Amino acid sequence: MYRRRFLTETSLFLGAGLGLGAGLAALPARLALAAAPTDRRLVLLLLRGGLDGLHAVVPYEDPQYRALRPTLALPPPGEAGGVLDLDGDFGLHPALGPLRTLYGRGELAVLPAATTAYRDRSHFDGQNLLENGSGKAFGARDGWLNRAVAALGEGGAAGEQARLGLALGPAVPLILRGDGGVQTWSDSRLPEVSEDFLKRLAKVYASDPAFEAALAQARGAPTPEIDGMGGRRRPFGDGDLVLSARAAADLLKRPDGPRVAVMESQGWDTHFDQGRRLDALLGDISAALVALRDGLGPAWRHTAVLVVSEFGRTAAENGSRGTDHGIGGLALLAGGNLRGGRVLGDWPGLAKRNLYEGRDLQPVNAYEDLFAAALVDHLGLAPDVVDRFVLPSGRADRRLSGLFA
């Protein structure tokens, strides 16, 4: 049976800290049998700060583009430093160059003018809403991918559930927090502690459920084998997205490994000097996706990757060669299980009358429809489980169709 995993607003104040175990409404028993562990892998890369979609996937043919972006606009395809054409209208930022090959093979797709149901401009509310999947900034205290992990694990053998979620980095982000089993990995230079000491410590932790659970999870986590780390291990940080991707790939490809992984990248809030900063950040993303594909090997065929951000940015650049918080953003999709090579969804255009509140790209495409497609058509969860339990902010019957093989 499901224990409580989706905390509603009213129950928010029942628990304190971790292990909010207050028992709430259980789901009907038949739903518990709807999902089975899968060979499918889902990776979500969360870009914190608000990605400027227009700078990553450029609508170079849009007549307003250059006028809105006098210093930031990228040259059209074929010119020096120009974008890499996708479909005659849109082009990839040159730093995403390696992904153009994936696009040609049908392993990359883009969804422009997309975001969650959030229509304001706070990073933190926007991220909360994106991660908790409730449709409200504080509608739930666990994350929708954690609930997906729980739903996947529910159909499997006992004990398997503990390994299905994977967070890359020392902390578990909200989107993966909850009762579903999650392991974490990050690189460390601190000396390992002896098994004997950890056993003793586990006895001490018996009096504190939150510490006990966290330690048990940490001890149970398998270790990835990563090539190319050299003798000295590097500290975890923003520059280590590729290292995280390699670790994620090594764990995900294992038959008994996790199936849902979350990676995070910071620094996308480019109010200032955006061109230079995004050159570097987009290069990281590109390298990380390539590292995932290379590391997953044959398992890439069963993989889907979603790259999302809490919102987009203003259509026009601001006074500091940057852009401010805006609504319509972008999703990048990759993976061997993707029917890609396409620009997905609708395109509202950049004409002033079509902008959201006269300033932002109109969010005509919904992240929720993308997420629901990944949950149902890729991970194989039943639509009613997704609607009621995993992603109440979405509607499975409106999911983007034909995305996955």
Partner 1 sequence: MKSIETFIAVNRFGLGPAPGEADRAARDPRGWVRNQTRLPAVPLQSTTSLRDAATIGASFHTARMSGGEGLMKSIRAAYRSDFMTALSARTEHQLTTDRPFGERMVRFWFNHFTVSTSKRFIGPMIPAYEREAIRPHVFGRFSDLLRAATRHPVMLTYLDNQLSMGDGSRAGRFRTRRQGVDTTINENHAREILELHTLGVNGGYTQKDVMELARALTGWTHGGIRLGPDRRSVHGEFEFNAGFHEPGTRTVLGKRYPDGGPEQGEAILDDLARHPETANFLATKLVRHFVADDPPAADVAALAAIYRDTDGDLGAVSRGLVDLPSVWAEPLPKVKDHEELVISALRVTGSTQARARDLAVPLQELGQAPFSAPSPAGWGDRADDWLGPEALLRRVEWLRQLAATLPSSLVPARFLEDVLGPVTGEPLRTWVERAPSPDAALALVLASPAFQRR
Q: How many Cα atoms occupy the beta-carbon half-sphere of 92 within 13 Å?
A: 25
Contact residue for partner 1 among 22, 26, 36, 171 (CB under 8 A): 171
Residue 205 touches partner 1, criterion: CB under 8 A: yes
Nearer to partner 1, 286 or 314 (CB): 314
Q: Could you write out the DSSP letters of every residue in 92-134?
A: E-GGGHHHHHHHHTT-EEEEEEEE-S--S--HHHHHHHHHH-S
Residue 200 touches partner 1, criterion: CB under 8 A: yes
Residue 320 touches partner 1, criterion: CB under 8 A: yes
Q: Shortest Cβ distance from residue 314 to partner 1 (Å)? A: 9
Nearest-10 Cα torsion for 285, 368, 145, 4: 160
Nearer to partner 1, 101 or 320 (CB): 320
Side chain identity, residue 83: V
Per residue, what are the HEC states of 261-279?
EEEEECCCCCCCCHHHHHH
CA distance 56 to 35: 36
Find all residues with CB under 8 Å of 32, minimum gap 6, and list them.
Answer: 1, 2, 154, 155
Residue 280 touches partner 1, criterion: CB under 8 A: no
Find all residues with CB under 8 Å of 382, minimum gap 6, and list them.
Answer: 31, 34, 35, 376
Q: First CA to last CA across the chain, in angstroms?
A: 31
Contact residue for partner 1 among 279, 357, 397, 402 (CB under 8 A): 357
Stretch that binds partner 1, among 1-9, 182-190, 223-231, 396-404 (CB under 8 A): 182-190
Binding to partner 1 by CB under 8 A, coded x per residue (else -) over 362-401, reads ----------------------------------------
Contact residue for partner 1 among 23, 81, 191, 255 (CB under 8 A): 191
Find all residues with CB under 8 Å of 78, minimum gap 6, and list them.
Answer: none
Task: Give me the count of residues in the chain.
Answer: 405
Q: Shortest Cβ distance from residue 384 to partner 1 (Å)? A: 29
Cβ count within 10 A of residue 316: 21
Q: Shortest Cβ distance from residue 263 to partner 1 (Å)? A: 14
Q: Shortest Cβ distance from residue 159 to partner 1 (Å)? A: 16
Q: How many Cα atoms occupy the beta-carbon half-sphere of 319 within 13 Å?
A: 0
Side chain identity, residue 76: P
Nearer to partner 1, 186 or 354 (CB): 186
Stretch that binds partner 1, among 81-89, 92-100, 197-205, 364-372 (CB under 8 A): 197-205
Q: Shortest Cβ distance from residue 79 to partner 1 (Å)? A: 20
Contact residue for partner 1 among 214, 287, 290, 364 (CB under 8 A): 214
Residue 24 touches partner 1, criterion: CB under 8 A: no
Residue 222 touches partner 1, criterion: CB under 8 A: no
CA distance 140 to 12: 7
Cβ count within 10 A of residue 264: 18
Strands in 318-357 per DSSP E: 325-326, 329-334, 342-343
Residue 241 touches partner 1, criterion: CB under 8 A: no
Residue 229 touches partner 1, criterion: CB under 8 A: no
Residue 169 touches partner 1, criterion: CB under 8 A: yes
Per residue, what are the HEC states of 157-206?
CCCHHHHCEEEECCCCCHHHCCCCCEEEECCCCCCCCCHHHHHHHHHHHH
Contact residue for partner 1 among 29, 79, 206, 353 (CB under 8 A): 206
Give the tokens for residue 149: 């992990």
Residue 324 touches partner 1, criterion: CB under 8 A: yes
Residue count, binding to partner 1 (CB under 8 A): 71
Nearest-10 Cα torsion for 17, 22, 28, 34: 30
Binding to partner 1 by CB under 8 A, coded x per residue (else -) over 60-99, reads -------xx-xx----------------------------
Binding to partner 1 by CB under 8 A, coded x per residue (else -) over 26-65, reads ----------------------xx----------------
Nearer to partner 1, 182 or 252 (CB): 182
Phi-psi domain of 49 (left: phi exceeds 0; alpha: psi -120 through 50; beta: other) = left
Nearer to partner 1, 274 or 303 (CB): 274
Residue 215 touches partner 1, criterion: CB under 8 A: yes
Contact residue for partner 1 among 82, 117, 222, 271 (CB under 8 A): 271
Please, which of residues 134-163 interact with partner 1 by CB under 8 A? 137
